[in-house]
Amino acid sequence: MECPIEARGKKDLLLDYCAHALDAREAAEFETHLASCAACKAWTQAHMRTWTLLDDWQPAPVSPDFDRKLYQRIAAEQARLSWWRALWRSLAARPLKPALSLALAGLIVLAGLLFVRPAPPPPVHKAQTQEALDADRIEKALDDVDMLRQLGTSGGSNSETM
Amino acid sequence: MAAVAAIEPDTELMLRVQAGDSASFGLLLERHRGPLIRFLYRMVQNAAVAEELAQEVFLRVYRARSSYVPSAKFTTWLFRIAMHLALNNLRDAKGERADDSLDRETEDAPRLQVADRSPSVEQRLVENARLLEIRRAIRALPDKQRAAVLMHKYEELEYSQIAHVLSCSESAVKSLLFRAYETLRGRLAHMA
């Protein structure tokens, strides 16, 4: 058996042995190791002494009215809850329903006014602008062509006349 | 989930509480009141505060009945709530404790009768001093180590349960425990 003090992750074996949490086979195996390992023996004995010391500390007994106090608190809480439930029921009762709906609608409108800001103007799309510019240019170019044609016609007649 | 409910009687009781059976809550209280108060007492080292905190734990359990989901052992859940409350209490009381630490240490000790001069008074004085040292040694441990020792030594919780309560791995719990017991051993060596 590997020494629990020297092996990594085996120290719980020492704790479990001292807490009597090992099964019979594991305990017997450890005791065989213990007989030949001075370090484990010293550790176990010292730990057992501490363990026994800790046994001496016993807490005070529970108050006899612990349950009564607890049930009182639970009853008080339930009473508080049922008060809220009753209040809610009376608020949700018929005659108040239109008033509640109005109040709710008012709240929604108010929230809308407070939180919904006017949307900024939609950005002009670059492609649209480009398209408009291109149409202008084409139109201008066509006008120029027309003008040149007219000039050419009149120029030709001019030369003929000259 | 269904498997947990089938094998764990506490979970079954809690599911009955969820269904509106208040008698099952009484059974859970009966079963866990003692261990829980003991644990809290040893954590905060004040009997009145421990009972107050234990009431809060059971109140929270009762409040949470409708949303209860049996994802872990009932005891683990209970101790998790208890540890959370105890740590909050210790944090809040840290400032106050510096002033009245001596009063707190002796307030839960058995009262000595001044007129009683029998040898048992001396014995009791020695015994009280012994217990005081043990309590001091445990109190001086870091919170997590202290909780781990109390759950392991006194409440005999499994490593996996302690790990769940402390939100850490099982190997971390083992090393916490090992360190804590080493420290206690050093502090109490003169008494052993």
Residue B93 makes CB contacts below 8 A (sequence gap 6+) with B44, B49
Domain B129-192 part of CATH 2.40.110.10: no
Q: In angstroms, rounded to a whole number, what is the distance separating the alpha carbons of residues A129 and A133?
A: 6
Question: Is B188 within 8 Å of A53 when comparing Cβ atoms?
Answer: yes
Pick the residue of B31, B53, B185 with the most A CBs within 10 A to test the interface with A by mutation.
B185
Q: In angstroms, rounded to a whole number, what is the distance separating the alpha carbons of residues B133 and B127?
A: 10
Q: Where are the beta strands (DSSP E) in A15-105?
A: none
| Identity of the amino acid at A102 | L
Pick the residue of B17, B31, B37 with the most A CBs within 10 A to test the interface with A by mutation.
B37
Chain B within 8 Å of A31 (Cβ-Cβ)? no
Could you say which of B41, B177, B191 has the minimum Cβ distance to residue A60? B41
User: Are B165 and B83 a contacting pair, CB within 8 Å?
Assistant: yes
Compute the nearest-CA separation of B134 from chain A (Å): 7
Q: In chain B, whose CA is at the least distance from the CA of A75?
A: B59
DSSP type of residue B139:
H
Which residues of chain B does A53 touch, with a Cβ-Cβ cutoff of 8 Å? 134, 188, 191-192
Q: Is the pLDDT score of A154 beyond 70? A: no
Q: Using a pLDDT cut of 90, give the percent of chain A over it.
A: 30
- The more confidently predicted of residues A160 and A69 is A69
CB count in 10 Å sphere of residue A70: 21
CA atoms within 13 A on the CB side of A110: 6
Could you say which of B34, B51, B59 has the minimum Cβ distance to residue A74? B59
Chain B within 8 Å of A10 (Cβ-Cβ)? no
Q: Each residue's pLDDT tens digit in chain B (192 positions)?
A: 444 445 689 999 999 999 999 899 999 999 999 999 999 999 999 999 999 999 999 999 999 998 888 888 899 999 999 999 999 999 888 766 544 444 455 555 544 444 555 668 888 888 888 899 999 999 999 999 999 999 999 999 999 999 999 999 999 999 999 999 999 999 998 887
Q: In angstroms, rounded to a whole number, what is the distance separating the alpha carbons of residues B52 and A67?
A: 11
Which residues of chain A does B37 touch, with a Cβ-Cβ cutoff of 8 Å? 59, 62, 66
Average predicted confidence (pLDDT) for chain A: 79
**Which residues make up the CATH 1.10.1740.10 domain(s) of chain B?**
1-108
Q: In chain A, whose CA is at the least distance from the CA of B185?
A: A50
Compute the nearest-CA separation of B77 from chain A (Å): 19
Question: Is A50 within 8 Å of B130 when comparing Cβ atoms?
Answer: no
Which residues of chain B does A63 touch, with a Cβ-Cβ cutoff of 8 Å? 51
Dihedral angle sign, alpha carbons of residues B55, B58, B62, B68: positive
Would you list the domain boundaries of chain A? 11-55, 66-115
Chain B within 8 Å of A6 (Cβ-Cβ)? no
Question: Is A15 within 8 Å of B135 when comparing Cβ atoms?
Answer: no
Q: In angstroms, rounded to a whole number, what is the distance separating the alpha carbons of residues B47 and A59?
A: 8
Per-residue pLDDT tens over the stretch A103-150? 888 888 888 887 776 666 666 555 566 666 677 787 878 888 777 777
Compute the nearest-CA separation of B41 from chain A (Å): 7
Chain B within 8 Å of A77 (Cβ-Cβ)? yes
Q: Is the pLDDT score of A153 beyond 60? A: no
Per-residue pLDDT tens over the stretch A43-73? 999 999 999 999 989 888 899 999 999 999 9
Question: Is B191 within 8 Å of A67 when comparing Cβ atoms?
Answer: no
Q: In angstroms, rounded to a whole number, what is the distance separating the alpha carbons of residues A135 and B53?
A: 82
CA atoms within 13 A on the CB side of A62: 23
Which residues of chain A does B41 touch, with a Cβ-Cβ cutoff of 8 Å? 59-60
Q: What is the fold, at CATH topology level, of the domain defined by B1-108?
A: Rna Polymerase Sigma Factor; Chain: A (1.10.1740)
ipTM metric:
0.79
pTM higher than 0.80 for the full model?
no
